[in-house]
Amino acid sequence: MAVRTILEFPDLRLRIRAQPVTRFDAALAALIDDLLETMYAAPGIGLAATQIDVHRRVLVIDISEERNQPLALVNPEILAREGEASSEEGCLSVPGIFDEVKRAEKIRVRWQSRTGEVSERDYDGTLAVCIQHEMDHLDGKLFVDYLSDLKRERIRKKLVKERRERASRPSAAAGQARRAY
Ligand code: NI
């Protein structure tokens, strides 16, 4: 297992659409383990393969306080959406930025496990938000895409500036990533 580098907005590799997983082999298991280790190290509550520059439809989530309930979804699909809810989101690829995003309140999801086993389940609350956020990553979409062009451009400039400052002052704090995914 290894902690991988997380791509940051506006890196264009975050815009690549991920391809379905077709082989449920040791390489997939290693990818899932790396995603989990990278997510826990960040620390964050979710991470999509796209964010570590692997363009396969795989995401991991753990919203538990104890950090001991990892979920790994391979080839996730949303079968049904219900309602609408707005909540504050953050993203490990857009560090330090939090804003309100409107999404479906409840979703029915089908996915495969690391061994290819198919599951189907309804989700609501934080897990529903998190799954929709991570699935956007697999389609090359970021939560800042839901904000106004003006706001997104302001965020882009802020991050580019902060990255430049971080490069000259490597000890600068990364900020509150606990709620980011
Ligand atoms: Ni994210």
CA of 63 to the centre of ligand 1 (A): 14
Please give the Cα distance from 73 to 32 (Å, whole number).
9
| 71: enclosing H helix or E strand | strand 71-82
What domain range is 126 assigned to?
12-168
CA of 36 to the centre of ligand 1 (A): 14
10-residue averages of pLDDT along the chain (181 residues): 95 98 98 98 97 98 96 98 97 97 98 98 97 98 98 96 87 60 87
Residue 178 falls inside a structural domain? no
Specify the number of domains making up the chain. 1
Q: What is the pLDDT at residue 175?
A: 54
Q: What is the pLDDT at residue 171?
A: 60
**Selection from 134, 125, 128 nearest residue 51 by Cα:** 134
Residue 4 falls inside a structural domain? no
Which bin fits 108, alpha (ψ -120 to 50), beta or left (φ > 0)? beta
User: How do strand 46-48 and strand 94-103 relate by DSSP bridges?
Assistant: unpaired
Residue 73 falls inside a structural domain? yes
CA of 116 to the centre of ligand 1 (A): 24
Residue 92 falls inside a structural domain? yes
Q: What is the pLDDT at residue 166?
A: 87
CA of 134 to the centre of ligand 1 (A): 6
Q: What is the pLDDT at residue 179?
A: 76
CA atoms lying within 13 Å on the CB side of residue 149: 0
Q: What is the pLDDT at residue 178?
A: 60
Q: What is the pLDDT at residue 176?
A: 56
| 150: enclosing H helix or E strand | helix 149-168
Residue 28 falls inside a structural domain? yes
Global confidence as pTM = 0.94
DSSP bridge pairs for 59: 48, 73
Determine phi and psi for 91, rounding to 5 degrees.
-150, 135
Residue 181 falls inside a structural domain? no
- Residue 36 · residue 3 · CB < 8 Å: no
**Burial class for 94, CB neighbours closer than 10 Å (0-12, 13-18, 19+):** buried
Based on the residue annotation, tell me whether 134 is a catalytic residue of this protein.
yes
CA of 8 to the centre of ligand 1 (A): 10
Catalytic, out of 88, 100, 134, 162: 134
CATH number at residue 112: 3.90.45.10
Query: Quick one: tokens of 106?
Result: 């409840």
Residue 124 falls inside a structural domain? yes
**Selection from 105, 95, 110 nearest residue 162 by Cα:** 95
Which residue's entry shows tokens 């965020």? 155
Residue 127 falls inside a structural domain? yes
CA of 22 to the centre of ligand 1 (A): 24
